Structure 1
Amino acid sequence: MTTRPLQPSNPGLMHEPRLSRLLFADPRLAPVWALLRVYVGYEWLVAGWGKVTNPAGVWVGEQAGTAVSGFLTGALAKTGGDHPDVAGWYAWFLQHVALPNAAVFSYLVAYGEVLVGVALILGLFTGIAAFFGGVMNASYLLAGTVSTNPLLFILATWLVLGWRVAGWWGLDRFVLARFGVTPRPALPSATGPGTVPGPHR
């Protein structure tokens, strides 16, 4: 007599490891995620607010695009040598797309940084805000600017991974619930090993 191997209760779903649930989906770690989220949000808000309120108007205003043009020109100067700081394909993008539209990118950068900062501080659509923050960090890094971008990019990546609980101490706790997303504690359940219990209230 042969026995058939046990089949998963729902073969269409992949079970999440307990460690992954603990780190990225357990509300008990919400304070840690809140600290990271607010720190990254503060950095973006300060950077963006400085651009929006710049008295010379080189980011937003009559001289919009001036600062971006200078930044892009400096980045294009880093494309030479055996080990350039700016890759050739990205230099093409900067020269043919970004530089001719410097004024548009100026507004996108200034207000984008402010919006990302506000969203992260409030914990509103944290995963989306962190994603766009990471895109800006990657853009600056590709342009040869280091500064705090590596650290902020790493933290943004973590916030994207922990989107389910990163905004638990924030507006996401209420907003995401309307979309059926409710963080659940990584606790064992009586219904079987690896089973996630019901919504944590």
Structure 2
Amino acid sequence: MTTTIRTLIPEPHVTQRLFADPHLASLWTLLRVFVGYEWLMAGWGKITNPAGVWVGEKAGVAVSGFLNGALAKTGGDHPDVQGWYAWFIEHLALPNATVFSYMVAYGEMAIGLALILGLFTGLAAFFGGFLNANFLLAGTVSSNPLLFILATWLVLGWRVAGYWGLDRWVLPKVGLDAPATEGARTAHSNPV
């Protein structure tokens, strides 16, 4: 029988303070709610679009237009959209534009609601950043760089970003440590 010795690498005090200290929960909550509101409004605008080009009888029209615009940016010496991503657009996204349309609209709403409520904050921020990265890969700038950076910070700060939210109660119910608990901070700072 072999015994595995697990050594924890101590967390630097700076990152422990930024990403795990409940004293900064108010700052993380403001950041989380701002990003959540941006996602919620983006999704709401798509779902309630009166033309029904995102969700409804003409679902997929807006996504097809967006994706065809991205494909137009694949030429030249310095294309805005790389060849491998153009392949993804052409062979996977465009043929399934209706499915992608619903996924984007409802995904943005779900990300926004989860972030505002502080429910599975790290996971919601990860998927928000994933959407931002895809929009950037498709050659769209807009607010995507800022939201991608903020989503990355929220993923790093998930322990305290959901402290003033549902994560504080839901995460222990699913077998995860509550955000920014004393035990979680101690385990990361004192190797055994």
TM-score when scaled to structure 2? Answer: 0.90
Matched, 1:176 2:168: no
Matches within 5 A, 1:134-149: 134-149=129-144
Contact 1:26 1:185 in 2 (8 A): no
1:184 is displaced (CA, Å) by 3.5
Instruction: Give structure 1 stretches of 5+ with no counterpart.
Output: 1-9, 197-201
1:12 is displaced (CA, Å) by 2.1
| Residue-by-residue CA offset, 1:50-93 (whole Å, 9 max, x unaligned) | 00011111000110000000000000000000000000000000
**How far apart, in 1, do the equivalents of 2:182 and 2:112 lie?**
28
**How far apart, in 1, do the equivalents of 2:49 and 2:6 lie?**
56
Contact 1:34 1:166 in 2 (8 A): yes
Matched, 1:76 2:75: no
- Alignment partner, residue 121 of structure 2: 126
**How far apart, in 1, do the equivalents of 2:171 and 2:25 lie?**
15
CA RMSD, aligned part only?
1.8
- Alignment partner, residue 62 of structure 1: 57
Letter in 2 for 1:153: F
**How far apart, in 1, do the equivalents of 2:90 and 2:81 lie?**
12
Please point out which of 90, 94, 115 is paired with 2:89.
94
- The structure richer in helix per residue is 2
1:185 is displaced (CA, Å) by 5.5
Contact 1:27 1:165 in 2 (8 A): yes
Instruction: Give structure 2 stretches of 5+ with no counterpart.
Output: none
**How far apart, in 2, do the equivalents of 1:177 and 1:93 lie?**
38
**How far apart, in 2, do the equivalents of 1:110 and 1:180 lie?**
29
Please point out which of 11, 15, 33 is paired with 1:20.
15
Letter in 2 for 1:181: D
**How far apart, in 2, do the equivalents of 1:62 and 1:46 lie?**
21
Match of 1:55, SS state, is coil
Matched, 1:29 2:24: yes
**How far apart, in 1, do the equivalents of 2:28 and 2:172 lie?**
18
- Alignment partner, residue 159 of structure 1: 154
Runs of 4+ in 1 over 3 A off after TM superposition: none
Contact 1:126 1:159 in 2 (8 A): yes
Deviates more, 1:42-51 or 1:11-20: 11-20
| Residue-by-residue CA offset, 1:8-29 (whole Å, 9 max, x unaligned) | xx75221111111111111111
Letter in 2 for 1:44: W
Give the paired residue count.
Answer: 182
Contact 1:48 1:110 in 2 (8 A): yes
Letter in 2 for 1:129: A
